[in-house]
Structure 1
Amino acid sequence: MKTIINILLAGLMAAGSAALAQDGRNHPGVVPLDEDGRLLDRIVAVAEEDVIMHSELFERIQTIQRQLAARDDGQAPPVNALVRPVLDRLVLERLQLQEARRIGIRIDDISLNNAIENIARENGMTLTQFRDRLVADGIDFRAFREQIRDEMAIAQLHRRQVDSRIQVSEQEIDDLIASESGAIDRDVEYRLLHLLVSLPEGATPEQIRETRQRAERIREEAAEGADFTELALRESQGQQALEGGDLGWRNANQVPTLFSRHVVLMREGEVSEVIRSPSGFHIVKLADRRAGSRSLVQQTRVRHILISPSEVVSDQEAHDRIRSLRNRIEDGADFGELARAHSDDRGSALRGGDLGWTDPGDMVPQFEQVMRQAEPGSVSEPFRTRFGWHILQVEDRRSHDSSRELMRSQAREIIRDRKRDDELEVWLRRLRDESYVEVRLGNVAAADPGLNRQAR
């Protein structure tokens, strides 16, 4: 959600007309002005049934300039360098929102309000304080809400159209755990910069050859010391192009499979060779490397007895029964025997109520709280969860390195994340290629003829 916050705060800051007019004087023919120097608005792109206006494009460009200037010591790229990637991102956003509406994705006001409250909480503010902060920064709160709604719709679209296609086999998990890059540097994190020179779907051998040659020229520039961020802004068609290709910090297991074998052998500042994938040709720079950390998990061995209310057992009767069982244990009855005879949790009842070793977060919050406060060997007072009335007994606690147990589940998620990046890239490219997109900004069309195309 914090990533969404950064994008939204950058994308929603209002751009003043005076600043746009100044851009018009600095970039004649790119920002259209009338004879009196006033801004003109017009359509700069058609994306299926939607349009993108000139004012939208340059508001987004200006906010990205401010964001990059704040991050890169006051040096912001010129307008001309941002027109193509910003317009391309706006087109993709519109196409995805239309696809979301087409398949029935709707974000209701309750879900939206909950998301905004979470954003405020993550920033250490109440909702009122957060709204006041946005207004003070010149951000229209209603526009912010709608942008959040759009981001949520796009995220849900990705889950439905991309995540559902991803399958992870047990063999893939085994291979990842045993892989050299995942074994020798799992405690190391990398900061990567990435540049993609994309290929059209069904590219001809000639297109592949020309695209590879272009990627090799860019790679030579980067290897000879050219600023990689500027190269990514100018040349990359990757999803992080507007961030200068910055993929952020990732541990070894989160580095995309395509790059992992290269990255593990690279030195800081080194640029990879050109790497081929179905999406095109990739170039990666290792910006930095740092050591990671590991922590032990506090595990609890616990057993319990559950009495659940039902159509024939009222909540009060369930409480009275669990209280009676606790009294019997206090008088010397065996906890395990009573669990086998009376507990409604039949899975654990067969083991005398034993739930085994549990990690933090395995149990519902009410159970977790009582278990955390209980002394080993003691029997808790009756307490209620959504399942009914419980008593529990903590048998032991230990600090446990559960990396082996967690590794397989973590590996599964890592593989899904890696595949998701590739699947999303392919899906977005297909969505773009199969959609009607018409660019009406001459400078952009000249720079990227592929932007002017119609659906097949």
Structure 2
Amino acid sequence: MKQPLALFLLAIATATALPAHAQLLPQAAAGGDQPLDRIVAVVDEGVILQSELNEAVRSVQQQYASNPGQLPPMDVLRRQVLDRLILMKLQVQRADDQGIRVSDADVDQAVAAVAQQNHMSPEQLRSAVESEGNSFAAFRRQLGDQLLVQRLHDNVVHDQVTITDSEINNMLASPTYKAGEVHLAHIQVGLPAGATAADIKAAQDKAEQATNAIKGGMDFHAAAIRYSDAQDALEGGDLGWRRMDEIPPAFADAVSNMKAGDVTPALRGPTGFHILKLMEQRQPSRQMMQEFHARQILIKPSELVTPEQAHQKADDLYNRIVNKHEDFAKLAKEYSKDDTTANNGGDMGWFLQGDWGTLVGQHVVQLKDNQVAQPFQSEIGWHILERLGTRETDRTEEMERNQARQAIGNRKAEQAYDDYLREMRSSAYVNVLVPELRDPNEQQGKKS
């Protein structure tokens, strides 16, 4: 494998530890040359070991092996990686406190997903992990932690995020609503919960340093790695493609006036200072989709009808429709057990391919208009399906509403979880024991 597997973990992945194969930094050891592991940070009830930090740093270095110049100086990189480890440790602890659990089967499924993303079998994935000098058991623990964090995220935002029709209507009707998509990168200089004037001044100074570095010719992704406090900093701050309606309005106004390659000045937001770069943009298009018109007869097994009898009944009805040319609608009213369509002669109306389930969708696509499919079995019974017609329909308005709902939900969820992380971090007991790894602006061991 050409790229480290760390690049292909779940979307919430961070460079977490693989302590079983850690490469330790040399340390003073009494009576020998063998390096000893040590605790570098205490995080509430847990600890982070030097070996964990070393392995996480090595993972980041592997990701940037082809372009190491984008990484910040080693002391800065170590502090950034340690901060990510601390945040991951806190989230895992909170998930455990809330009784969130991940089973072996869940991890197996995650391993299979990572393997598929890398075009491998799970066995090949295991070999690739171990060929990089890593423990596969530790790799599984890393995936398990990521699943815990994702479930914690879902729990946190579930009760806090609601979207009303009025909010959707207001967004679509707003003069500031902007369609289209943009590919963004960002640098976030965060503020702690309850930030003081000194905190704000320090963050503003750091944001100005990042802005000046970019103006001086530093690559934006390299600047993100060096200066950003966001969880995606070590990925160069790449936000990927986002719809304009997903961007907070204050930032959308700035982005809408930019051209590809432009960089904003430092923008003050509720969580700190943000610097945005517009990578690319694309305009919206009409959402034309194929709809199908069909009708069906459904024969279900029951206490009085065995599965074999249901199959035979479906075959008999198919023969009466196709070979004896009996009226489909009349037979549907008499024999179909689908409560939603039987009284309408089996008419299913106009629908998208997946609206009636995968099997119905697969068969309706393969049929020609006015053709009847041979009986096929689903989990609920035997279907006789006739396609009546197809049409292209403009679903732009419906899609816009769905996208607006999703955008509002994503924005609220992102803000809610970001607030949760800031509060969690500021109220946690975190004591970095190694002086050179400490953030000079942060008080050690503080628990508010």
TM-score clears 0.5: yes
Matched position secondary structure for 2:9: helix
Q: Which residue of 1 aligns with 2:9?
A: 4
Q: Which residue of 2 aligns with 1:137?
A: 132
Q: Which residue of 2 aligns with 1:94?
A: 89
Is 1:381 equivalent to 2:386 in the alignment? no
Q: Which of 369, 372, 393 is the equivalent residue of 2:365?
A: 372
Matched position secondary structure for 1:447: coil
Alpha-carbon distance in 2 for matches of 1:2, 1:298: 37
- Amino acid in the other structure paired with 1:379: V
Q: Which residue of 1 aligns with 2:168?
A: 173
Alpha-carbon contact 2:176-2:249 (below 8 Å) kept: no
Output aligned runs, 1:56-455, within 5 Å: 56-70=52-66, 72=67, 75-178=70-173, 183-184=178-179, 186=180, 188-190=181-183, 192-205=184-197, 207-208=199-200, 211-212=203-204, 214-216=206-208, 218-289=210-281, 296-330=288-322, 331-445=324-438, 447-450=440-443, 452-455=444-447
Name whichever of 217-226 and 303-312 sits farther off: 217-226
Identity of aligned residues (%): 37
Q: Which residue of 2 aligns with 1:29?
A: none
1:145-169 deviations in whole A, cap 9, x for unaligned? 1111111111111111224421112
Q: CA 1:403–1:85 in structure 2 vs 1: closer, same or farther (change >3 Å)?
A: same
Matched position secondary structure for 2:65: helix
Alpha-carbon contact 2:16-2:85 (below 8 Å) kept: no
Offset of 1:356 from its aligned partner? 2.1
The structure that is helix-richer by fraction is: 1
Name whichever of 99-108 and 119-128 sits farther off: 119-128
Name whichever of 103-112 and 334-343 sits farther off: 334-343
Q: CA 1:130–1:102 in structure 2 vs 1: closer, same or farther (change >3 Å)?
A: same
Alpha-carbon distance in 2 for matches of 1:180, 1:306: 49
Name whichever of 283-292 and 370-379 sits farther off: 283-292
Matched position secondary structure for 1:350: helix
Alpha-carbon contact 2:18-2:142 (below 8 Å) kept: no
1:319-354 deviations in whole A, cap 9, x for unaligned? 233333333333333322332333222122233222
Alpha-carbon distance in 2 for matches of 1:215, 1:251: 25
Alpha-carbon contact 1:336-1:351 (below 8 Å) kept: yes
Q: How many residues align?
A: 441
Alpha-carbon contact 2:95-2:149 (below 8 Å) kept: yes
Unaligned runs of 5+ in 2: 1-5
Name whichever of 376-385 and 411-420 sits farther off: 411-420
Q: CA 1:123–1:209 in structure 2 vs 1: closer, same or farther (change >3 Å)?
A: closer
Alpha-carbon distance in 2 for matches of 1:2, 1:404: 37
- Amino acid in the other structure paired with 1:438: N
Alpha-carbon distance in 1 for matches of 2:404, 2:113: 28
Alpha-carbon distance in 1 for matches of 2:360, 2:139: 39
Q: CA 1:11–1:427 in structure 2 vs 1: closer, same or farther (change >3 Å)?
A: closer
1:235-270 deviations in whole A, cap 9, x for unaligned? 322222222322233343444545222112112332
Alpha-carbon contact 1:336-1:353 (below 8 Å) kept: yes
Report the TM-score when normalising by structure 2: 0.87
Alpha-carbon contact 1:81-1:233 (below 8 Å) kept: no
- Amino acid in the other structure paired with 2:423: R
Matched position secondary structure for 2:192: coil
Alpha-carbon distance in 1 for matches of 2:163, 2:172: 14
Matched position secondary structure for 2:390: strand
Q: CA 1:341–1:6 in structure 2 vs 1: closer, same or farther (change >3 Å)?
A: closer
Output aligned runs, 1:31-46, within 5 Å: 32-34=27-29, 38-46=34-42
Offset of 1:413 from its aligned partner? 1.7
Q: CA 1:121–1:210 in structure 2 vs 1: closer, same or farther (change >3 Å)?
A: closer
Unaligned runs of 5+ in 1: 25-31
Alpha-carbon distance in 1 for matches of 2:209, 2:120: 48
Alpha-carbon contact 1:189-1:289 (below 8 Å) kept: yes
Alpha-carbon distance in 2 for matches of 1:33, 1:266: 54
RMSD: 3.1
Matched position secondary structure for 1:270: coil
Alpha-carbon distance in 1 for matches of 2:136, 2:20: 15
Alpha-carbon distance in 2 for matches of 1:315, 1:34: 74
Matched position secondary structure for 2:278: strand
Offset of 1:9 from its aligned partner? 10
- Amino acid in the other structure paired with 2:9: I
Q: CA 1:279–1:8 in structure 2 vs 1: closer, same or farther (change >3 Å)?
A: closer
Q: CA 1:151–1:334 in structure 2 vs 1: closer, same or farther (change >3 Å)?
A: same
